[in-house]
Chains A and B, each alone.
Chain A
Amino acid sequence: QKEVEQNSGPLSVPEGAIASLNCTYSDRGSQSFFWYRQYSGKSPELIMFIYSNGDKEDGRFTAQLNKASQYVSLLIRDSQPSDSATYLCAVNDLYQGGKLIFGQGTELSVKP
């Protein structure tokens, strides 16, 4: 059974701080890794995706992948109250056409 694990939180950070969200996965053959943001009652919204080991930056967001440790993280710099949401880590064993396996999500709360 392929698993994706996240700390459910809540993770609380002050406005302007860096929020660090972590995820581990069980399938060493996983190829692509995604972070989705989900507001309560809404659908997952893609934030970042990463395929290769290392860091990938997009604005205030940085995704980090370490395939040897089977670990992927998301850093949010200069956190804003509007970043308060549940962040879902998802993993795919294909680059295209394969199902996403989701973690249970980490609830992030950014306090003004």
Chain B
Amino acid sequence: GNSVTQMEGPVTLSEEAFLTINCTYTATGYPSLFWYVQYPGEGLQLLLKATKADDKGSNKGFEATYRKETTSFHLEKGSVQVSDSAVYFCALIQAGGTSYGKLTFGQGTILTVHP
């Protein structure tokens, strides 16, 4: 079945530091890939997405590139802010088959940014 693996967390950074959160996936075919963010006490917000190989998703300074050869979708940001502190989830959705329409999530990575 499909699966998503995120880097072990939590991640603690100082403001303006560079962020990388690793994500690798296992899926059949060509899934669409996503990063969601969850702030304390809230639901999930879509941060960015990529629907085919070599696509780069970007939003609010965050970027991730769909790498089919390494089955990866690592999240990066050049300069984090305190307001970026949240839990980040990598996820995929398969285009067809029995998993059609179902989001598969990683376990989440807690990011804490200190001033």
Are A and B subunits of one complex?
Answer: no
Q: Which residues of B contact A (CB under 8 A)?
A: none
